[in-house]
A and B are shown apart, each in its own frame.
Chain A
Amino acid sequence: MGTANEKGVTFGPTKTERFYDSLNCHRPTSKKPEKTKWCIDRQGEYAIFENADSASRTCIKGHIWGFGNQAGTIVLGGGNEVLAKFPKVVNPNDNWHGYPVSPRSKPSDAPPKEDIKQWLANGDIEQVFARRLLRFEL
């Protein structure tokens, strides 16, 4: 269970002692059109973060990346996004937050290809998901 506050709901700590803020601005009720919105509930949003965090899915730029399954077929966002980005925090003790991303809509939101290849080699993702990410199809 999380703790509600004015920004949203805070969850944690994870096994790596991180706290996570499920921000209101990325929830479907938000009226900010520039923000992508989760289509799963807050607990599910935290589960995506917790899973990515425990799998140490941190890229070379320091962001953490999450998804629903190894094939990348579970939709997490209202724009059919299947990938979530948890941007690197400024201070190590800061709470994390995240949102669904679509590299197809915004190529700068794609994970680095070296990390995608590593996830594939580790068995974190299936080949179909790796290829779709590298081709900016998602």
Chain B
Amino acid sequence: MKVIRVLLKGNFDDAFLYRDRIVAVGTNSLSMFSLSQIAAKIEEIEPKTIPIPTLLFQRNDWTFGKEGMPYRSMVRNPEIANAFIAAARRLKNMEFEAVQFLEKTIRLGTTNDILLDMNIYNGRIYLGGDSGLYDCDLEWEKLAFEKVRHRFDTSCINVSVKYGAVNISCGDEGLHSSLNDFNLDQGPSRSIEKLSDMFQQRSSLSLRSTWCKTNVINYADFSNPQLFDTSAMPVPAGSLEAETSLLTGISETPWGIWNLDRTDKRASAVPSDYIDYTFNSGIHFYTINQAGSIFETSLKYPKSGDRPKLGHFSKIVDGFKGHVIKTLPLRSGAVIETLDKVFLLSATDGIQEVYDSPCLSVRTFPQSRRYKDLFILVTKEGLWLNSVLDADLLDPHGKIIDVEQLKIPINLKRRATDF
């Protein structure tokens, strides 16, 4: 895997990709940049980069899945593949002033919070800060909004939204959930006096929450994730992004993931070395131990609707060094943020370094349709827009790119951004 990236220079705290836009958060403001316009302007400034900006940044989905069939067929032709690689090399690490792509700046008029997390779902922007959770419904055609609402008044370090439900992690103030956050007619009815009453506490401790099918995964620590069983009801497609389920209930007592029954009694146990960090991407769970080994396992959901079972553990990487701060899933693997570096983890190439300084924010978009293989790094320099490119697909015989070196499982000297 290779990472093609451009830098949009500016002063940002965080950024999110949604509906063809980069939504960048600065001090008390949101800056909107159109991805289509960015791709078009880069191609106008540097025509030799065509079609890479459009393909990698605007329509990342054209390189994989059903939408990616034409691309994959085309690049089987070595001359076309060569042209793509030349265009990608031309684009590599280009820098632009973000302001030249600015579509609109929106003043938020919020307090002087330190932004801790953000999310955008079903047209609504969620901002987690040290004084609580805020949201605003944006009119995306006009880029206008009515007001910012203060939803919850406890420091909010993680916002996770799916199936119409919002889960907020507040550290030692717990995990809180708002079901049917969009008040769909089909959902459970509620009598609400205050906005914060929409949230119900689920756990006394939460550093992060994610999803595993419709189940909620709570990370009270990063060694022993907990699974909350849930109930859901169908909703028409389009009422909640592309989802067709609305969460209606969350169980009171969670299950420890590592305590779930095994699919096979002979299946290997949780790696006995001390688990330093755990993360999941849907049903797939990954653990990193202090020795730097990364293991993968997955949950199997029986058709009977019983509790899921834990599968085999298999070691996928050895010798990883660095204290993991956060790990975020991508279509082709995961982005690992450590104290002072960022790495790309992929099944084909193991671990590759992609950035060598601490980042203000690292973000992936696995729930999106178009940006599953894009990730954003917000640094002191600005906003790095990164797209993952399958180098083996372009250069299967290793004649154009130095593929042999890329296949070394642990290759910390060579960067994924070297091309």
Q: Which residues of A contact B (CB under 8 A)?
A: 71-73, 75, 80, 82, 104-105, 107-108, 110, 113, 117, 120, 126-132, 134-138
Contact = CB atoms under 8 A, between A and B. Distances in A.
B114 A131 contact: yes
B155 A137 contact: no
Contacts of B307: none
A71 B222 CA distance: 22
10 contacts: A73-B340, A75-B339, A80-B276, A105-B221, A107-B205, A117-B130, A127-B360, A134-B130, A135-B117, A136-B171
B402 interface: no
Given A75-B323, A131-B360, A135-B207, 20 more contacts: A71-B358, A72-B358, A73-B340, A75-B339, A80-B276, A80-B339, A105-B221, A110-B171, A127-B114, A128-B359, A129-B358, A130-B114, A131-B114, A134-B114, A134-B116, A134-B157, A135-B158, A136-B157, A136-B207, A137-B326
Contacts of A128: 358-360
Interface string B90-125: 000000000000000000000000111100000000
A107 B339 contact: no
B172 interface: yes
A26 B205 CA distance: 27
Contacts of A104: 207, 221-222
Interface string B316-328: 0000000101100
A10 to B, nearest CB: 31
A3 B323 CA distance: 34
Contacts of A138: 325
A137 B325 contact: yes
Interface of B: 13, 114-117, 130, 155, 157-158, 171-172, 205, 207, 221-222, 276, 323, 325-326, 339-340, 358-360
A39 B158 CA distance: 31
Nearest to B221: A105
Contacts of B325: 132, 137-138
A134 B170 CA distance: 10
Given A73-B340, A104-B207, A108-B172, A113 B155 contact: yes
A138 B324 CA distance: 9
Contacts of B171: 107, 110, 135-136
A105 B219 CA distance: 12
Given A104-B221, A104-B222, A134-B157, A73 B339 contact: yes
A107 B172 contact: yes
Contacts of B205: 107
Contacts of A108: 172
B115 to A, nearest CB: 8
Nearest to B128: A135
B339 A131 contact: no
A84 B116 CA distance: 22
B407 to A, nearest CB: 30
A51 B155 CA distance: 29
A88 B418 CA distance: 50
A71 B157 CA distance: 19
A42 to B, nearest CB: 23
Contacts of A129: 358
B114 A117 contact: yes
A135 B171 CA distance: 8
B157 to A, nearest CB: 4
Contacts of B326: 137
Contacts of B114: 117, 120, 127, 130-131, 134
Top 9 closest pairs, chain A to chain B, by CB: A80-B323, A107-B172, A135-B157, A73-B340, A128-B358, A73-B339, A137-B325, A136-B171, A136-B207
Contacts of B116: 131, 134-135
A113 B130 contact: yes
Contacts of A117: 114, 130
A128 B114 CA distance: 11
A31 to B, nearest CB: 17
B226 to A, nearest CB: 16
Contacts of A75: 323, 339
Contacts of B221: 104-105
B172 A82 contact: no
B249 to A, nearest CB: 28
A84 to B, nearest CB: 15
Nearest to A102: B323
Nearest to B339: A73
Given A104-B221, A107-B205, A134 B155 contact: yes
A93 B358 CA distance: 39
Contacts of B13: 127
A82 B358 CA distance: 14
Contacts of A130: 114
Contacts of A71: 340, 358
A38 to B, nearest CB: 16
